């Protein structure tokens, strides 16, 4: 029963890529309940426990509310002015003396879920002018961005399954029942998958664990971790071998078909079968099913990116979509059309400059820049290694690489060697404890919300905006304001600069560049707004559904979105090729030279490599989100979840028992984790969730520290990367396991 004194607010959940619309009940300035917003045009009432946990996050006493400065090794609460004065005192001299590359910027995952951070961190990066840019992308999706850039011409031209009209889904290395989708915004995947099956469709999952998604699929095949490249080569080979290639409507827009056929010629299903752990006949059958399906899509995600052949795998997934005529077709893998901020649609339709990598290289390891970033696994050595260009200062924004990146203890030691570190974060945690100044973010309920990235990855086109649920305390800066202050400081304008004027100048500059002679009129049209809201309004109005500042009165603008708390549905996905292509050739590049070179050099040589007896992979859990939600009571309660899953055969062979601790060793690195015996595992594979390990001295995460769990990344030395994308290898790493006695 609704309480008459309660009010209702609506808010898009900022935790994961599903972007669910939530309904909050409020009373006396407090949240009384959070549920799914049934009327939401996109998520239709879906919610998971992490959405409901926003109440605990808002109320968490450990969540930072005041800036902190480290004095004599201890953090003390200070005013905002003191915090920025300290940054101004310490950061600009480092830049002046050692150059811009002496500062690094490290961006973490929640940035993409926070409009203020998302719109202003690129401006901070530009103002800093450093080539030392690192983010969670090189622990995650960089291979997919690179393969998409090479094939379609833009890093963000990433197709997603049109699940509502599909009748066959092949899913590799993703567990959307738990993760709720990634590079695919699809709230209630389970419900949509059930509907697909109810209309006679089929889902096949390839995963070394019978994951929650595999358990509800029509078929599940175990695969040896890290060997998807062989399976996919076998599938592509079969399509050529059995004359099953059908390019359909895209035939005139495809380049490199012959080169591709030649490149895969040596990888028959029979040759790759043993290497990937699937029978040749199963591989051939899968290729035939995919080719015969009228509306089908192949989708791969985290497990396919965080492996040594991440870019090749990401490429071959879309190669399959193209060769079977399922790319850009209803029910296939399609490109969403975002109402705003669609970087991939900028410029002349049909062709473009394409992408390049390696415009600079990391100083110590020589890793190429990819999409403006260096691999985060290079960060520690860039701080440790003396000489010109050493990183001496670091700004981290919403990232916890001490837990989320390989070899966190090495990184932690390196962070202590910095001359200066600032963190913009909501917790004093494993990473931010190394900072000299921490600028607290807000509660998500105190910020407006608009998803910058996810409308271009959504299962349906849509536009939604949320106002702030609560007003921020008057002395607390919004995160975009904190970033503007940092921009002012690194630009030499000073900590006390007028950031409102700075914001005006930045936006006016953009508008002048894009709108030319109309710039003044455009600025006038949004003159009552500032900060993120002004940029959202500008982008919506100039976007593909926009009102063009009055020229198309029926079009979208921010005021209309504000008047539609359930969001605005913009219809099912529609074909976008060839217009969306931005390759120099104006074609879909099926056989980019960089990928064919890599294919020749590595997997070919690796086919006969002896296989390790035991390897480790990661996993995700419904009540956990990367490394930062373990402090919330509603999520932390219940059974201990950071367990190492092992197959009964392996357990027996190694003398392991459920509930007991085991020592997991990889090279010189070791951790201890609680064993859970499970026949969901492929024999020879161990699965441990990532993001745990909250036993580090100096963090302030009271609840999380009660059951810290083991840190999967502490097993890895950080040296393993996909050389093309710079992405870390987090899957398929050999380990040894023994009971702790």
Ligand X SMILES: Nc1nc2c(c(=O)[nH]1)N[C@H]1C(S)=C(S)[C@@H](COP(=O)(O)OP(=O)(O)OC[C@H]3O[C@@H](n4cnc5c(=O)[nH]c(N)nc54)[C@H](O)[C@@H]3O)O[C@H]1N2
Closest separation between CB of residue 623 and Mo ion, Å? 17
Q: Is 187 in the site for ligand SF4 (CB under 6 A)?
A: yes
110 contact choice in ligand X, Mo ion, ligand SF4, none (CB below 5 to 8 Å, kind-dependent):
ligand X
- Is residue 484 a contact partner of residue 502, using CB atoms and an 8 Å limit? yes
187 contact choice in Mo ion, ligand SF4, ligand X, none (CB below 5 to 8 Å, kind-dependent):
ligand SF4
- Is residue 701 a contact partner of residue 630, using CB atoms and an 8 Å limit? yes
Binding test (CB under 6 A) with ligand SF4, winner from 10, 11, 15, 692 = 15
Q: Is 711 in the site for ligand X (CB under 6 A)?
A: no
Binding test (CB under 6 A) with ligand SF4, winner from 9, 51, 599, 711 = 51
466 contact choice in ligand SF4, ligand X, Mo ion, none (CB below 5 to 8 Å, kind-dependent):
none
Which tokens in the block code for residue 355? 């992408």
Q: Is 628 in the site for ligand X (CB under 6 A)?
A: yes
Closest separation between CB of residue 137 and Mo ion, Å? 8
Closest separation between CB of residue 321 and ligand X, Å? 17
Binding test (CB under 6 A) with ligand X, winner from 109, 238, 311, 462 = 109
Binding test (CB under 6 A) with ligand X, winner from 13, 232, 403, 478 = 403
Q: Report 6-25 residues binding ligand X (CB under 6 A).
A: 16
The answer to whether the Cα torsion of 722, 723, 724, 726 is positive or negative is: positive
Q: Is 426 in the site for ligand X (CB under 6 A)?
A: yes
Pick between residue 494 and residue 723 the one whose CB is nearest to ligand X. 723
Per-residue b or e along 139-177, where b marks 16 or more CB atoms closer than 10 Å to that residue's CB: bbbbbbbbbbbbbbbbbbbbbbbbbbbbbbbbbbbbbbb
Binding test (CB under 6 A) with ligand SF4, winner from 109, 180, 213, 731 = 180
Q: Token pair 């965080």 is at which residue?
A: 306
Q: Is 225 in the site for ligand X (CB under 6 A)?
A: yes
Q: How many residues bind ligand X (CB under 6 A)?
A: 67
Closest separation between CB of residue 455 and ligand SF4, Å? 14
Binding test (CB under 6 A) with ligand SF4, winner from 9, 20, 283, 445 = 20
Cα–Cα distance between 13 and 21 in angstroms, integer?
Answer: 6
Listed ranges 15-23, 404-412, 551-559, 593-601: which one lies at the site for ligand SF4 (CB under 6 A): 15-23
Cα–Cα distance between 354 and 157 in angstroms, integer?
Answer: 11
- Binding residues for Mo ion, per CB under 5 A? 140
713 contact choice in ligand X, Mo ion, ligand SF4, none (CB below 5 to 8 Å, kind-dependent):
ligand X
Listed ranges 81-89, 122-130, 260-268, 685-693: which one lies at the site for ligand X (CB under 6 A): 685-693
311 contact choice in Mo ion, ligand X, ligand SF4, none (CB below 5 to 8 Å, kind-dependent):
none
Q: Is 174 in the site for ligand SF4 (CB under 6 A)?
A: no
Q: Is 186 in the site for ligand SF4 (CB under 6 A)?
A: no
Nearest residue relative to Mo ion (C-beta): 140
Listed ranges 196-204, 223-231, 529-537, 588-596: which one lies at the site for ligand X (CB under 6 A): 223-231
Q: Is 620 in the site for ligand SF4 (CB under 6 A)?
A: no
- Is residue 24 a contact partner of residue 10, using CB atoms and an 8 Å limit? yes
- Torsion angles phi and psi, residue 545, rounded to 5: -110, 10
Cα–Cα distance between 38 and 636 in angstroms, integer?
Answer: 27
Cα–Cα distance between 321 and 261 in angstroms, integer?
Answer: 15
Pick between residue 110 and residue 149 the one whose CB is nearest to ligand X. 110
Which tokens in the block code for residue 226? 């890290």
- Is residue 295 a contact partner of residue 169, using CB atoms and an 8 Å limit? no
Q: Is 16 in the site for ligand SF4 (CB under 6 A)?
A: yes
13 contact choice in Mo ion, ligand SF4, ligand X, none (CB below 5 to 8 Å, kind-dependent):
ligand SF4
Pick between residue 267 and residue 628 the one whose CB is nearest to ligand X. 628
- Is residue 160 a contact partner of residue 336, using CB atoms and an 8 Å limit? yes
Q: How many residues bind ligand SF4 (CB under 6 A)?
A: 12
Pick between residue 213 and residue 583 the one whose CB is nearest to ligand X. 213
Closest to 235 in 3D by CA, of 282, 166, 305, 198 = 282
Rg of the chain on CA atoms, in Å: 25
Listed ranges 44-52, 286-294, 630-638, 704-712: which one lies at the site for ligand SF4 (CB under 6 A): 44-52
| Three-class SS of 437-462 | EEEECCCHHHCCECCCCHHHHECCCE
Which tokens in the block code for residue 5? 């004194």
131 contact choice in ligand SF4, Mo ion, ligand X, none (CB below 5 to 8 Å, kind-dependent):
none
Listed ranges 14-22, 123-131, 244-252, 255-263: which one lies at the site for ligand SF4 (CB under 6 A): 14-22
In sequence order, what E strands does 88-131 have? 103-107
Cα–Cα distance between 86 and 98 in angstroms, integer?
Answer: 19
The answer to whether the Cα torsion of 461, 465, 469, 473 is positive or negative is: positive
Cα–Cα distance between 446 and 256 in angstroms, integer?
Answer: 51
Classify residue 488 by burial, with Cβ atoms within 10 Å: 0-12, 13-18, 19+: buried
- Torsion angles phi and psi, residue 414, rounded to 5: -65, -40
β-strand partners of 203: 169
Closest separation between CB of residue 726 and ligand X, Å? 14
Mention every residue, 6+ apart, whose C-beta is less than 8 A from residue 213: 171, 174, 175, 176, 177, 178, 189, 193, 203, 205, 207
Q: Is 303 in the site for ligand X (CB under 6 A)?
A: yes
Pick between residue 15 and residue 260 the one whose CB is nearest to ligand SF4. 15
51 contact choice in Mo ion, ligand SF4, ligand X, none (CB below 5 to 8 Å, kind-dependent):
ligand SF4
Mention every residue, 6+ apart, whose C-beta is less than 8 A from residue 336: 160, 455, 456, 457, 458, 459, 460, 461, 573
312 contact choice in ligand X, Mo ion, ligand SF4, none (CB below 5 to 8 Å, kind-dependent):
none
Q: Is 712 in the site for ligand SF4 (CB under 6 A)?
A: no
Q: Where are the alpha helices (DSSP H) in 48-114?
A: 49-52, 54-59, 80-98
Residues that bind ligand X (CB under 6 A): 16, 108-110, 114, 136, 139-140, 172-176, 178-180, 182, 206-209, 211, 223, 225-226, 228, 301-304, 306-307, 397-401, 403-404, 424-427, 429, 431, 441, 444, 479, 617-622, 624-628, 687, 690-691, 712-713, 730-732
Residues that bind ligand SF4 (CB under 6 A): 13, 15-16, 18-20, 47-48, 50-51, 180, 187
């Amino acid at each position: 029963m609704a309480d008459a004194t309660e009010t209702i607010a609506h808010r898009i959940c900022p935790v994961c890529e599903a972007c669910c619309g939530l309904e909050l009940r409020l009373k006396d300035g407090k949240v009384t309940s959070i549920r799914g917003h049934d009327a939401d045009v996109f998520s239709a009432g879906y919610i998971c426990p992490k959405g409901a946990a926003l109440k605990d996050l808002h109320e968490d006493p450990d969540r930072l509310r005041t800036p902190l400065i480290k004095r004599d090794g201890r953090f003390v609460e200070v005013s905002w002015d003191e915090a920025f004065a300290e940054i101004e005192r310490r950061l600009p001299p480092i830049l002046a003396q050692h150059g811009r590359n002496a500062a690094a910027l490290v961006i973490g995952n929640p940035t993409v879920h926070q409009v203020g951070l998302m719109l202003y961190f690129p401006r901070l990066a530009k103002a800093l002018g450093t080539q030392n840019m690192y983010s969670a992308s090189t622990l995650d999706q960089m291979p997919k961005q690179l393969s998409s850039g090479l094939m379609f011409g833009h890093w963000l031209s990433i197709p997603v399954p049109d699940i509502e009209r599909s009748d066959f889904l092949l899913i590799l290395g993703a567990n959307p029942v738990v993760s709720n989708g990634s590079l695919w915004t699809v709230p209630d995947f389970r419900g949509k998958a059930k509907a697909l099956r109810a209309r006679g469709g089929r889902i096949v999952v390839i995963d070394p664990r019978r994951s929650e998604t595999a358990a509800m699929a029509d078929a599940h095949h175990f695969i040896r971790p890290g060997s998807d490249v062989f399976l996919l080569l076998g599938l592509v080979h079969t399509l050529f071998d059995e004359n099953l290639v059908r390019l359909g409507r895209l035939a005139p827009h495809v380049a490199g078909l012959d080169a591709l056929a030649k490149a895969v010629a040596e990888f028959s299903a029979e040759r790759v079968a043993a290497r990937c752990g699937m029978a040749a006949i199963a591989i051939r059958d899968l290729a035939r099913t995919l080719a015969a399906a009228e509306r089908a899509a192949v989708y791969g995600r985290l497990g396919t990116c965080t492996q040594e052949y991440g870019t090749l795998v990401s490429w071959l997934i879309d190669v399959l979509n193209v060769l079977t005529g399922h790319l850009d077709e209803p029910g296939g893998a399609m490109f969403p059309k975002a109402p705003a901020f669609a970087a991939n649609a900028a410029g002349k339709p049909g062709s473009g400059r394409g992408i390049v990598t390696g415009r600079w290289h990391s100083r110590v390891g020589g890793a190429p820049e990819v999409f403006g970033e260096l691999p985060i696994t290079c960060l520690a050595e860039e701080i440790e290694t003396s000489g010109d260009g050493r990183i001496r200062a670091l700004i981290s924004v919403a990232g916890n690489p001490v837990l989320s990146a390989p070899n966190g203890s090495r990184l932690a030691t390196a962070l202590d060697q910095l001359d200066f570190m600032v963190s913009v974060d909501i917790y004093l945690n494993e990473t931010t404890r190394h900072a000299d100044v921490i600028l607290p973010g807000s509660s998500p309920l105190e910020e407006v919300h608009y998803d910058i990235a996810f409308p271009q990855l959504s299962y349906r086109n849509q536009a939604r905006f949320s106002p702030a649920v609560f007003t921020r305390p008057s002395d607390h800066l919004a995160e975009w304001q904190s970033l503007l202050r940092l921009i002012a400081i690194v630009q030499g304008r000073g900590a006390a600069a007028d950031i409102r004027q700075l914001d005006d100048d930045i936006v006016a500059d953009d508008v002048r560049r894009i709108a030319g002679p109309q710039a003044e009129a455009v600025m006038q049209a949004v003159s009552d707004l500032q900060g993120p809201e002004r940029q959202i309004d500008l982008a919506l109005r100039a976007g593909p559904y926009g009102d063009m500042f009055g020229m198309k009165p029926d079009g979208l603008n921010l005021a209309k979105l504000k008047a539609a708390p359930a969001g605005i549905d913009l219809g099912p996905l529609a074909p976008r090729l060839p217009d969306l292509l931005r390759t120099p050739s104006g074609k879909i590049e099926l056989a980019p030279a960089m990928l064919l070179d890599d294919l020749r050099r590595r997997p070919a040589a690796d086919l006969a490599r002896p296989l390790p007896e035991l390897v480790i992979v990661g996993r995700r859990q419904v009540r956990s989100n990367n490394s930062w939600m373990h402090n919330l009571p509603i999520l932390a309660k219940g059974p201990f979840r950071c367990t190492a899953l092992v197959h009964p055969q392996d357990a027996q062979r190694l003398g392991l028992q459920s509930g007991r601790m085991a020592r997991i060793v990889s090279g010189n690195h070791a951790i201890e984790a609680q064993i859970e015996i499970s026949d969901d595992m492929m024999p020879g594979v161990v699965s441990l969730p990532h993001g745990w390990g909250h036993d580090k001295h100096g963090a302030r995460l009271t609840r999380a520290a009660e059951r810290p769990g083991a840190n999967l990344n502490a097993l890895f030395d950080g040296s393993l990367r996909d050389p093309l994308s710079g992405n870390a290898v987090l899957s398929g790493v050999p380990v040894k396991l023994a009971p702790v006695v």
